[in-house]
Structure 1
């Protein structure tokens, strides 16, 4: 049986899963039908497998109201994304005035909130307020990190964790909003960790590796809800320990709603991709 997680205020550490697999999923943004399709395709077993989200469960997609129910599942873990953070900030001082809610409803795909019952709103708020900024997963191949946007360039993993746990506002801002590594094509990676999975910045050509950083937001909500015609958009769903060549292989078809990556994990430690 997998070991019980040790919860910190800002960092969640998951012990070794001795019986099942650990999967990571990119930004969902309410595309829960695609997620369920991916779980079925991977033959996900909720009794032994774990599912870890890189955040942004809500906004844009009409299924965003399902976020609390998803987070309540015992096999689900998630980091806070910038969209969850914006929701928390909106309610930081209590219930906002109606005109503020109406304004917010016109921003960042937040309109679904105005159509959601008070009870479901409370459930979602309660759920997202518990989300950590970072998740660390112990695997037989090494430590895998999850953060929504990025680890600051030039910062190693232990220093990143130390600053997150200390409440460093600048580091937290980058963890939720940063895009520098992906925009610049920075392949230096993050020292002190086997792999890091991030979301936030859509990769329309598929899951992307830069050093030991894997960008797994591939625009799933655009594929499911047809918000815009975005060629190649799909939800990415991957075994966090699988071989790098299989994890980053090109898709045979870009027409599918879900890209599921699962395969042999091997027994060796993760390859060294940090410069």
Structure 2
């Protein structure tokens, strides 16, 4: 057993001069439904890029498809708490301090039907996911993190500089991957944290599903996880896809 090494804690992507940059909320194994959503927006694999907000696995039927999707040159994702769970509980790794206690899941029974060698490929792919992504746009940088911008960072640059050069600790990982504390109130839209990140055009967050199953924006922060996996149980929710050039005008909302 040894600590997880994150070779890409933070990834920066230069401006896409050929096509669109699309961001989607948590996928949770619903890759077939995601394919349909991409067809609906006429996603062009030659020119467009797709960024996911983590939680690629668990709950849906096709978690292992994450391995193939992460090989696609146009698909990128941040690390989610479900990926951290798999790295901790099934890949015999540890997280700094006591943070592994936060990453407990009951959504992973599917792994018992997967060959150990195949699961090892998934774990290797998940280890390479960054905690944060920054994408350059014509209007400025756009940030992406699974759950939240951790407290104590007044700017996105301060956070990503810490990821690049500082030491990871349990509280930072908890807030970035699991935190609900600063999430905007799902009905009133009242922000529990700073509503505007001053050095970003937009910050996209997943993890939390608003009560109305619709994307929620407060200041320049955008919560777009609308529960694609819930379609199978309560027939609500779906994928929200947003062109990062127009953060408040989703191409699809809970599709």
Name the SS for the 1:235 alignment partner. coil
Mapped contact 1:55–1:78 kept (Cα < 8 A): yes
Aligned pairs for 1:1-275 (under 5 A) are: 9-93=8-92, 107-153=105-151, 155=153, 156-165=155-164, 166-169=166-169, 170-182=171-183, 184=185, 185-186=190-191, 188-205=195-212, 206-223=214-231, 226=232, 228-229=233-234, 231=236, 233-242=237-246, 244=248, 246-247=249-250, 258=255
Mapped contact 2:147–2:178 kept (Cα < 8 A): yes
Instruction: Summarize deviations over 1:118-150 as a string: whole Å, max 9, x none.
Output: 232122111101000000000111100010000
Shift of 1:153: 4.3
CA–CA separation in structure 2 for the residues paired with 1:204 and 1:76: 28
Shift of 1:192: 1.4
Deviates more, 1:163-172 or 1:72-81: 163-172
Query: Residues 214 and 38 from structure 1, CA distance in 2 versus in 1: closer, same or farther, beyond 3 angstroms?
Result: same
Shift of 1:66: 0.9
Shift of 1:161: 1.2
Structure 1 segments unaligned to the other structure (5+ residues): 1-6, 95-105, 252-256, 259-275
Name the SS for the 1:242 alignment partner. coil
Mapped contact 2:23–2:51 kept (Cα < 8 A): yes
Shift of 1:243: 5.8
Mapped contact 1:238–1:247 kept (Cα < 8 A): yes
Highest CA radius of gyration, 1 or 2? Answer: 1
Q: What is the aligned-residue RMSD (CA, Å)?
A: 2.2
Mapped contact 2:228–2:239 kept (Cα < 8 A): yes
CA–CA separation in structure 2 for the residues paired with 1:13 and 1:167: 19
TM-score, normalization: structure 2?
Answer: 0.83
Q: Match of 1:266?
A: none
Displaced runs of 4 or more, over 4 A = none
CA–CA separation in structure 1 for the residues paired with 2:139 and 2:117: 42
